[in-house]
Amino acid sequence: MRAGTFSGLVLASVLLTAQASGGTDPAASVAAVAEPAVAAQNPADGSTVLPLGVTPTAAANASVSRWNSRALDLCVKYRRNPLRIARALAVLHAAIQDAVASAAATTEAPDLLAVAGDAAAGPMLDHLFPLETPGRFQALAWVDYAKTAASPAVDQAQASRARAVGAAAAERAIAKAMRDGSDLVWDPRQRPTPGPGVWRATPPLHSYDPLEPLAAQWTTWVLRDGGEVQPPPPVVYDTPAYWAETAEVLAVSRALTPEQARIADDWNLGQGSVTPAGVWNLKARALLAGQGLDQIQSARVLAVLNIAMADAAVACWRAKFADWTQRPVTAIRERLDPDWLPHLLTPSFPSYVSNHAVMSGAAAEVLAAYFPDSAAALDAAAAEAALSRLYGGIHFRSDNDEGLKLGRRVGRLILERLYGDRLAPPLASKPLPPLL
């Protein structure tokens, strides 16, 4: 059965349920079960009514942010890991960006741009989260489209075109997602020979297999591949510099202040949370709202932000699984304290470099280009994210420092490739090339 048919079934079930319970207005019933809308419909004349204080620009902007919020909620619900969340957000917002940009070639009407973005986002979430009710998100997008198309002020042909443009962007994005290598299956025999300094399962969970070892091979968006931008080699095992870093982790752990513990806990964003990618999306949405960016600009910012983090994560995993460096807990128990455990639970993958640092560096670099007045605060947040892993006892300082540098380089390179010599502000007002 085609996805569009599922959408119709979901919507039909809503209407039938309402009628069976005595409802007399199917449109009102749809609105009741749909998620809260930014706009409502005037029952007298069918015109679109915005809540007090909400402009058409803000309503259209809210459409992009609403799909971002839905995606983050689903990532938490299904306990997606940080790499899978970065990938999902990138493909979702690339589809929305291409849809909105294509629609903007023929209309500037915010409600029609929202229709295009909705028509792209609905199928994407249905694809990315297949355990949800089939067609649920396409049905939500259809409801928003129906409300817009019902307004006498809206050109029906333009509304249909906007919806078709969005659906086409979703098809391209899904096709890309299905061939990006994220379904590769790891052969455990590819694990390196055990030896001094080589990553192995860590206490207390002792998870034998590392997380997503083949993510290093996933197709990137703007980078040629995950190996195009890489950090310098890690600190050599069993050298004075190595044991100095190890001793620092132990010393910080033993003298951990309440403020340092708070920072470690606040940034401890593993599965079951929005993860670092989600935190940076929340920061971006706050900046979008504060600056009053419109639908087109908001779509651009979230697309580039999430593509940068997705590419940065692949680059990070390329480094991790090129070097297979052990975690601090392994080194400390080996030489300094056989019973030591870090403040945070050690993730089950190699140490060098820190993914928190890489993704935060890339995110801060991108957002600072769009919001230069907030650059200092963004840079400070990225530095804190990196340092939090030392406070947590799960990364060496060089993991964090070099990870932050790597992420910033990835973010800067992506901006340069997408914008060329057009990087001067206001960047959000400048068009992007097609992403799909």
Q: How far is residue 305's CA from residue 85's CA, in Å, rounded to a whole number?
A: 13
Q: What is the pLDDT of residue 122?
A: 98
* Total residues found in the chain within this entry: 436
Which structure tokens are listed for 50? 């915005």
User: pLDDT for 306-362, tens place per residue?
Assistant: 999 999 999 999 999 999 999 999 999 999 999 999 999 999 999 999 999 999 999
3-class secondary structure for 182-242? CCCCCCHHHCCCCCCCECCCCCCCCCCCCCCHHHHHCCCCCCCCCCCCCCCCCCCCCCHHH
User: pLDDT for 213-249, tens place per residue?
Assistant: 999 999 999 999 999 999 999 999 999 999 999 999 9
DSSP character for 373? G
Domains of the chain: which residue ranges?
39-177, 188-429
46 φ/ψ sector (left φ>0, alpha ψ -120 to 50, else beta): left
- The rounded average pLDDT for each run of 10 residues, N- to C-terminus, in the chain (436 residues) is 42 38 33 35 40 43 91 96 97 98 94 96 98 97 93 93 97 98 93 95 95 97 98 98 98 98 94 92 96 94 98 98 98 98 97 98 98 98 98 98 98 97 93 94
Which structure tokens are listed for 96? 């929305």
Q: Which fold has domain 188-429?
A: Vanadium-containing Chloroperoxidase; domain 2 (1.10.606)
Q: What is the pLDDT of residue 310?
A: 98
Which of 343, 427, 425 has the alpha carbon at shortest distance from 390? 343
CA distances from 10 to 32, 141, 263, 315 (A): 14, 12, 44, 40
Q: What is the pLDDT of residue 61?
A: 62
Helix (H, G, I), strand (E, B) or coil at 395: coil
Q: How far is residue 36's CA from residue 364's CA, in Å, rounded to a whole number?
A: 31
CA distances from 207 to 187, 199, 345 (A): 16, 12, 12
Which structure tokens are listed for 328? 């601090």
Packing angle of the helix pair 397-419, 240-254 (nearest 10 deg): 100
Q: How far is residue 262's CA from residue 377's CA, in Å, rounded to a whole number?
A: 19
CA distances from 51 to 34, 38, 39, 98 (A): 17, 7, 7, 28
Q: How far is residue 146's CA from residue 149's CA, in Å, rounded to a whole number?
A: 5
Name, in order, each residue with C-beta under 8 angstroms of 14's C-beta and a sequence gap of 6 or more: 29, 30, 33, 139
CA distances from 102 to 62, 117, 299, 307 (A): 19, 10, 12, 19
Q: What is the pLDDT of residue 92?
A: 98
Residue 6 burial by Cβ neighbours in a 10 Å radius (0-12, 13-18, 19+)? middle
DSSP per-residue codes, 87-139: HHHHHHHHHHHHHHHHHHTT---HHHHHHHHHHHHHHHHHHH-TTSPTTHHHH
Cβ-based neighbour number of residue 161 at 10 Å: 18
* pTM metric for this prediction: 0.87
Q: How far is residue 209's CA from residue 186's CA, in Å, rounded to a whole number?
A: 10
Largest Cα–Cα distance in the chain? 79
406 near 69, Cβ under 8 Å? no
CA distances from 393 to 19, 90, 251, 318 (A): 58, 30, 10, 23
